[in-house]
């Protein structure tokens, strides 16, 4: 390997490391937004809900910065096939992360819409869904960092738990609405929250699929 080639390779690896660090930072911000949004709903804390909405701009800015980094790497460097897959995975992953953040904002808005009105039921399954999803996202990001395709597949498999809880929440809230029409407004809001969380789990599954592609060069459907 020539000196120029070695220098170019070293520069590319440093830029890829920065890219990974920024993507993991964005993932941490999304995890925090989701946690705060569900906590704001559970504790009926409007200030916490507003902090999620206000913080979304920071996540959007980081998304655009990561996209810019990816495009510059593609345009100015000469990435090998494995590097191209890593850059492509980063581009896809930030899109999924940004959409997860949007769902966190939507949950925060539901918290504001419900406000201080008494909850029709203690929130149990929705926080459980959020807990499973947080673990999925944490491990999905670790799979990306460590290039661990097996972990990515295991993360995607947990989506079934989220789907099961979503079905349970749906049935329970529908029963409330049928038995007492006065609960319809709030039950509908809570159903939207469950739907947002279910969609977040789907985005984590997408992330897992891109990790498998990055490592193995294979596109696969981990949630058929």
Q: For the segment 129-168, what is each residue's pLDDT rounded down to a tens digit? A: 999 999 999 999 999 999 999 999 999 999 999 999 999 9
Contact between 196 and 52 (Cβ < 8 Å): no
12-59 per-position pLDDT tens digit: 788 889 999 999 999 999 999 999 999 999 999 999 999 999 999 999
Rounded to whole angstroms, the Cα distance separating 165 from 163 reads 5
Which H or E run contains 28? helix 3-43
Three-state DSSP at 78 gives coil
What is the dotted CATH code of the domain comprising 3-216? 1.20.58.220
Contact between 145 and 24 (Cβ < 8 Å): yes
Least confident of 49-58, 83-92, 197-206: 83-92
pTM of the full structure: 0.93
Three-state DSSP at 180 gives coil
Per domain, the residue ranges of the chain are 3-216
């Amino acid at each position: 390997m020539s000196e120029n080639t070695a220098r170019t390779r070293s520069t590319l690896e440093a830029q890829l490391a920065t890219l990974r660090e920024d993507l993991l930072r964005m993932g941490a911000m999304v995890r925090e937004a989701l946690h705060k949004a569900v906590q704001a709903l559970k504790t009926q804390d409007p200030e916490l809900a507003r902090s999620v909405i206000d913080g979304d701009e920071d996540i959007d800015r980081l998304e655009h910065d990561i996209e810019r980094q990816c495009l510059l790497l593609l345009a100015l460097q000469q990435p090998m096939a494995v590097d191209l897959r890593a850059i492509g995975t980063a581009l896809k992953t930030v899109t999924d992360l940004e959409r997860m953040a949007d769902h966190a904002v939507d949950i925060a808005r539901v918290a504001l819409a419900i406000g201080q009105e008494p909850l029709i039921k203690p929130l149990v399954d929705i926080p459980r869904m959020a807990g499973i999803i947080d673990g999925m996202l944490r491990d999905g990001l670790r799979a990306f960092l460590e290039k661990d395709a097996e972990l990515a597949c295991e993360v995607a498999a947990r989506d079934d738990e989220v789907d099961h809880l979503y079905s349970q929440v749906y049935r329970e809230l529908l029963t409330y609405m049928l038995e007492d029409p006065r609960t319809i407004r709030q039950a509908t809001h809570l159903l939207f929250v469950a739907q947002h969380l279910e969609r977040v789990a789907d985005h984590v599954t997408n992330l897992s699929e891109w990790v498998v592609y990055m490592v193995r060069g294979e596109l696969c459907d981990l949630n058929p």
